[in-house]
Amino acid sequence: MDWKKLIEILKGHKVYIQTHNYPDPDAMGSALGLQVFLKHHGVESLLCYDGKIEKLSTKRMLDIFDFKIYNIDDIEDMTESDYIVTVDAQKFNANVTDFIGDEVACIDHHPTFIPCDYLYKDVRFVGACSTLIAEYFKESNTPMDSNTATALLYGLRIDTNNLTRGVTPLDIDMFSYLYEYADADKLAAMNNSTMELKDLQAYGAAIQNIKVYDNIGFAEIPFDCPDGLIAMVSDFILALDVVEFAVVYATRDDGLKFSVRSELSEWNAGQIVAEALDGIGTGGGHVTMAGGFVPSENIEKLGHLYDDEIERRFVAACREGNK
């Protein structure tokens, strides 16, 4: 991490901060945090994304933390010479749209699957991207206001599932650092009423469809729902005492969206979903959590009973991981 180099690269340019498509709380908190950090050092920026902001908690972040993030459809003047910094995302990933601007920098905590030649790259395997942005403030002695601290703290907490998933010493240090500045009332507001009726319907569908093979749990949500909600259901399935590896997928018009969770270090969620969907879709992520997608035109490759083939593929990939 060399925050001075990042500032040097960006100064004098029109700068956009891009999250992954369908941004979650960690992506939103990281984007806001980086925007505030850059502004302190004389660099103005605009936050942007593709897709939709679907989850209730993520929508509420815009109101509670009072910031703007623009869908690419609402940005008409981005040019090839504009600079883009990707946060909680990397260029060429399946969940990141390639905008017309120049991706010169990347700050992320996910594995790199397709390398990109950035002018500045800070990719470290920590529990949340918000952790990395918080460290920029601390290491540079940049003033930390309560609004930014609370947004980063919320993103960190959600992405690590309350400091229980993928946590590193740096996550703990930054949690403590942010907590000192955080607004308790805003945190409480974010913790209230974060579930909608459609969330309950997704949980109900998953409960009806759950199957468990040894310690691997599968659940299908037979209707479209947001990425964040699929991930929440995946966490829910993993919480069952007999499940140590969870695979949840939702049916969409354009294909099947997967969320995968693992409690076992020998079963790398990112590697397993990539292997299980090889030849029919894409997948990747962390050791403990990952995602994947099978486009609609490839579903026929799974056969008439595609749920059976999905289960077979994941079980085989998990067993291969034991070797």
Where do the structural domains in the chain lie, given as residue ranges?
3-191, 197-321
Fold held by 3-191: inorganic pyrophosphatase (n-terminal core) (3.90.1640)
pLDDT digits (tens, 9 = 90+) for 231-283: 889 988 998 989 999 999 999 888 999 999 999 988 999 899 999 999 999 88
Q: For residue 194, name the pLDDT band (cuts at 50, 70, 90).
A: low
The residues that bridge with 219 in the sheet, in sequence order, are 248
Query: CA 20 to CA 209: how far, in whole Å?
Result: 29
Task: Identify whether the C-beta of residue 254 lies closer than 8 Å to the C-beta of residue 224.
Answer: no
Task: Identify whether the C-beta of residue 154 lies closer than 8 Å to the C-beta of residue 55.
Answer: no
b/e string for 95-128 if b means 16 or more Cβ within 10 A?
bbeebebbbbbbbbbbbeeeeeebebbbeeebbb
With a pLDDT cut of 70, the percent of the chain lying above it is 98
**Class at the top of the CATH hierarchy for domain 197-321:** alpha beta
Query: CA 79 to CA 206: how far, in whole Å?
Result: 44
Helix, coil or strand: residue 157: helix
Judge whether residue 13 has pLDDT over 90: yes
β-pair type (245-252, 211-213): unpaired
* pLDDT for the residue numbered 321: 62
pLDDT digits (tens, 9 = 90+) for 17-34: 999 988 989 999 999 999
Judge whether residue 323 has pLDDT over 60: no
Domains 3-191 and 197-321 share a fold: no
Q: In the structure encoding, which two tokens stand for residue 145, read together?
A: 């206001």
Q: In Å, how far from its chain's centre is CA 145? A: 24
